[in-house]
Chain A
Amino acid sequence: MTNSMQEADKGNVILVIGTNTTWNHPVFGGMIKKAVKEKGIKLIVADPRDIGLSKIADIHLTQNPGSDTALLMGMQHIIIKNNWHNKEFIAERTEGWDEYAKSLEFYTPEKVSELCGISVEDLNATAKLYATAGRGAIYYAMGITQHSHGVDNVMACACLQMILGNYGVPGTGVNPLRGQNNVQGACDMGGLPNVFTAYQPVINEDARKKFADAWGVKYEFLDDKVGQTVTTMVENAGDSIKCLYIVGENPMMSDPNQNHARHQFEKLDFIVVQDIFLTETAQIADVVLPAAAFAEKYGTFTNTERRVQYSFKALNPPVGAKYDHEIVAEIAKRMGCLDFPSTVEELYSEIRKLTPSYAGISYERIMNKAGLRWPCPTEDHPGTPILHGAKFSRGLGLLKAITYRPPVEYANNEYPLTLTTGRLLQHYHTGSMTRRSKVLHGITPSGYVEINTVDAAKLKIKNGETVKVSSLRGSINITAKVTEKIKKGVVFIPFHFAETAANILTNDAYDPVAKIPEYKVCAVKIEKI
């Protein structure tokens, strides 16, 4: 997030797009609700489903899945036509304006209305409210990113905020809500194929020298090319990739096009899975290493607003399990790296030395406190709740024309419905933890497919009936939940449940830049059984 969650009530208008916040980030969902109900902040929700926030929204747009780029660019088309853009900000803080403005010509309200399946009036009202209410914040989650054009969607959000000058002050910004508790931290720590910690590029010679020095290895030893992403590693399994070491992840359940993913994993020579349960992925591993869970260890975690928090150890791990860092150090030592750091403290002190944004965040400053938001370069630095205050990280913000790209696969004669997937309030990701929780399992023991009343009537499907849902890639049998809370032509399946796995159906097409799969749109059909 460029900004912080505590600012939800500090702006004038909020655009919630591609996030079912009250289910997926429930506590923050409540904060948005509070901002709207108590502070009178205007709320626009763009989601093909009726979500918790839509009933208090000033405008609820039910755009077609996969049409977000059109919606966001169409809003900008209208904003510029009406002269609502922030000329001063555009002139001082951005580049590429002329060409960008021209590129928006494509996104006429009529065209956007057709692409998105929303009325021109609603589109106009949305653009007007968002542009003229004052300071605006965008909150999004995987509904924006998990598309074959996810990068375009994010860019469209960033550009919308640039042309309105919505950066650097409270209640503005581009604010992705991270789905897992330490996604931000995993990225910050260089758990990405292209960067070391704090996004220092691996292709940069100085960065490689710095890390080679710190690790006591020869500069030439470090790989100077960008590595592969999770999606490409699975795609190249058996070819360029022979072996995977998988820590705390369950890709057998979370990868798109599950049947294909399983086939790919089978091609590997050697799979190591390190986890707390025998997950679907652990079951196909060659070696399974039992690890400690979050409350059984101490260390730091970084939340969606870049806040580094310290977590204490509440419990001992099961006898026989080890800490993740301990296992990694053991492997490193057995591979000949004798000085690999073996304690959490050693690791963190190395992190601070090599990671400028974390350098000022000592354990003492965050233990028993509320944490600090990076960048925090020195021990007397107060942390940074809001990014891009005076200038963007790259200097001038780049306004870059975006060509509309539809989803790779969309509803057709044979597969007339559009499937979108996501999480439920009670469950988390592949369910390895929440489905083992008595209360959460008690509330929601199984999955279902949400289908609009009209579509259900056409197919003669009753609420609670088991139906067969198929895509080009596979099919599942699942209970139908007939509801008016989803757009006609769209169906929704939560992906937590192995026995009704949404990811058997999803498309493994991905964004060419971010390599993120298109979980949010694929074509399916539903049949009675």
Chain B
Amino acid sequence: MDNKINLTIDGQVYTANIGQTVLQVARDNGIYIPSLCYHPRTGKAGKCRACLVEVEGIRGLKESCGLEVRENMVVNTRTERIMEVRKMIVELHLSNGEHNCIACEKNGHCELQDMAYHCGVERPHFPVEHVTAELDTSSEGIIRDSNKCIQCGRCIRACNYNVMHEVLDFGWRSGDMKVICDDDKPMGESSCVQCGECVQVCPVGALTFKNAKGVAQYKELKKTKVICTYCGVVCSIDMYTKDNKFVYSLGTEENWEELPNKGMLCVKGRFGFDFLNREDRLNTPLIRKNGELVEASWDEALDLVASKFSEIKEKHGPGSLGFFTSARVSNEENYAVMRLARGVVGTNNIDHCARL
């Protein structure tokens, strides 16, 4: 194959596609290389240096997120030198801000925590600066904790170049530098539309979902690939649930380039599914008796529906029944309603909400 090459990573030979980066090939093959600023959907940023590797024949350490594979390249990802650098990076991050994992929403799927664990760093050698910034809880859906921000810039690139909302940026200078909304407004007062893309790409606990706070630790969540129930784009969603309750949703990351939404969501797809958990969901059939809707058994309700349908058909003909199927149910279910109308009742009076 023309577009394939072989390279060696940590003594093992792998086949890769031309154009792939060392980081991609390593990850495809289950080799851990941390990356704090690179994310598949925000691209390489060259800021964090967490993904440095050694390449035989090249002096110095190279950022694997931007390093294209070449034929017969020999890469090492876990040399002593690399581990020293990684430790240093972790320690520098831990010495700045407050990276307290205990009750953090990101505990268990934090990329800084992963890196610290991997390097065996529990606390930094440097003195820790305790300048505690206030949480920004002004937004309905998102909590911003700048104490946990590592200024990787993923959220800024995602906001400006993925979803194109152009709200987030770095503001202020040097030690005061931080991620800001518009001209440093609280998020809830800014032009942010709360699509949550920034939360999805944040490697740490600096951006989290307000609704999910304290609801479930990562290890308790179940992930399921569903489609969004709102508009016609039909975004692919990784829905996270616990104890049969919706907790939060992320745009599907796996295979994202091929998906209609490319991993992104809007405010409805992100936050609009807690209706599933509502206490006022219908959970019993209702039948109108003496003007009031009263609870009934399924058998009673279904018998009534079937007998009324048959009776009305008998009396007024099949064309006196009308069927509204739905743009909200699946193809299979639409087909079922269509077959019921045409094949069982015998009428073409079937339509749905496309016009409304």
Contact = CB atoms under 8 A, between A and B. Distances in A.
Interface in B152-190: 161-165
* Secondary structure call for the B interface: mixed
A368 to B, nearest CB: 7
B336 interface: yes
B272 interface: yes
A297 B330 contact: yes
Interface in A45-96: none
A275 B282 contact: yes
A293 B302 CA distance: 20
B334 A369 contact: no
B320 interface: yes
A255 B244 contact: no
B331 A288 contact: no
Contact of A439 (B239, B272, B281): B272
A438 B274 contact: yes
B233 A304 contact: yes
A182 B271 contact: no
Interface string A182-194: 1111111111111
B47 interface: no
A446 B115 CA distance: 46
B232 A178 contact: yes
Which of A191, A223, A251, A316 gathers the greatest number of chain B CB atoms within 10 Å?
A191
A26 interface: yes
Interface stretch (A329-337, A391-399, A467-475): A329-337
Contacts of A409: none
B232 A181 contact: yes
B215 interface: no
Contacts of A494: none
Contact of B301 (A25, A180, A289): A289
Nearest to B163: A30
Interface stretch (B29-37, B128-136, B348-356): B348-356
Contacts of B232: 25, 177-181, 183-184, 303-304
A233 B230 CA distance: 26
A28 interface: yes
Contacts of B233: 5, 25, 27-28, 177, 303-304
A426 B267 contact: yes
Contacts of A527: none
B286 A288 contact: yes
B316 A294 contact: no
A335 B285 contact: no
Interface stretch (B14-22, B90-98, B219-227): B219-227
A104 to B, nearest CB: 29
Contact of A193 (B161, B244, B274, B349): B349
A247 B324 contact: yes
Nearest to A349: B332
B331 A245 contact: no
A27 B338 contact: no
Contacts of A283: 293
Contacts of B316: 242
B302 A330 contact: yes
Nearest to B343: A215
A240 B309 CA distance: 15
A450 interface: no
B194 A233 contact: no
B337 A328 contact: yes
A517 B355 contact: yes
Interface string A213-237: 0010100011101111111010000
B312 A33 contact: no
B264 interface: yes
Given A287-B288, A288-B293, A295-B273, A347 B234 contact: no
Contacts, number: 463
Interface stretch (A123-131, A153-161, A307-315): A307-315
Contacts of A341: 336, 339
Contacts of B348: 193-194, 202, 223, 225-227
Contacts of A221: 343, 346
B293 A285 contact: yes
For chain A, the bracket of interface size reads 35 or more
B331 A440 contact: no
Given A181-B230, A440-B271, A228 B351 contact: yes
A243 interface: yes
A340 B255 CA distance: 37
A370 B309 contact: no
Contacts of A34: 161, 164
Interface in A387-409: none
A230 B274 contact: no
Nearest to B320: A242
A453 interface: no
B333 A242 contact: no
Contact of B140 (A37, A228, A315, A443): A443
A356 interface: no
A426 B287 contact: no
B260 A243 contact: no
B271 A311 contact: no
Contact of B324 (A242, A245, A516): A245
A229 B271 CA distance: 34
Interface string A4-32: 01100000000000000000111110110
Interface string B299-341: 0011111111110100010111111111111111111111110
A170 to B, nearest CB: 16
B276 interface: yes
Contacts of B210: 439
Contact of A181 (B211, B245, B307, B328): B328
B350 A191 contact: yes
A282 to B, nearest CB: 8
B58 interface: no
B195 interface: yes
A329 B237 CA distance: 29
Q: Closest 9 A-B residue pairs measured CB to CB?
A: A178-B232, A227-B348, A248-B326, A334-B306, A299-B330, A26-B266, A290-B282, A303-B234, A304-B232
Given A189-B334, A227-B348, A231-B355, 5 more contacts: A242-B316, A328-B333, A328-B336, A337-B344, A439-B271
14 contacts: A181-B232, A191-B350, A191-B352, A227-B319, A227-B348, A244-B324, A245-B321, A287-B301, A295-B273, A301-B234, A433-B275, A437-B271, A439-B141, A439-B272
